[in-house]
A and B are shown apart, each in its own frame.
Chain A
């Protein structure tokens, strides 16, 4: 069956460190993968999209990698700040709609 797994439900790091979140998938061949941020009680907010022919994509302090051989995406936040604390979701296109992982909740302490 198709699965999207974000291997850590929670990740705690100190301010200034780099946070690395992992997304693994099985039985998919996605043309692209997306990452979202969700704050409590709010809808997810789109952060980055990376296509299958792109190995890496950056946006300010965010970096996403996409390895279609390993079926894995890594999401990095450099120089993390307490304001980065949130749940981060990865998502794959399955047919016409996105299928989401359960998310990793990141807590950045000062």
Chain B
């Protein structure tokens, strides 16, 4: 069966520090991968998606970036965090036309 792993679960980082969140998927090949952010009281905002290794599409211009170094690995990064980067970050995968499977999320607080 397919599983998705996302870590860490919580993270407190100072303003200006770097960020690296990792997501891996097991049990499927060539999945579509996504990063979403959910700020307090707001909906899910699509940040990045990837349809293959090295293929990244950005939906929202910001100081975040994403990479897909391997087929089932998706990384969200930042060189310098801002207060506004705080939120609940969710990784998800999908295959063709079907529901997304989300990871358990990372609660990021920038202080």
Contacts and interface: CB of A to CB of B under 8 A. Distances in A.
A32 B97 contact: yes
Chain B interface helix/strand/loop/mixed? strand
Nearest to A9: B41
B46 A41 contact: no
A89 B90 CA distance: 15
A96 interface: yes
Give the interface size bracket for A toward B.
Answer: 20 to 34
Given A100-B44, A101-B43, A102-B42, A42 B104 contact: yes
Contacts of B32: 96-97
A31 B97 CA distance: 10
A9 to B, nearest CB: 9
B27 interface: no
Interface of B: 32, 34, 36, 42-44, 46, 49, 51, 57, 59, 88, 90, 92, 94, 97-105, 107
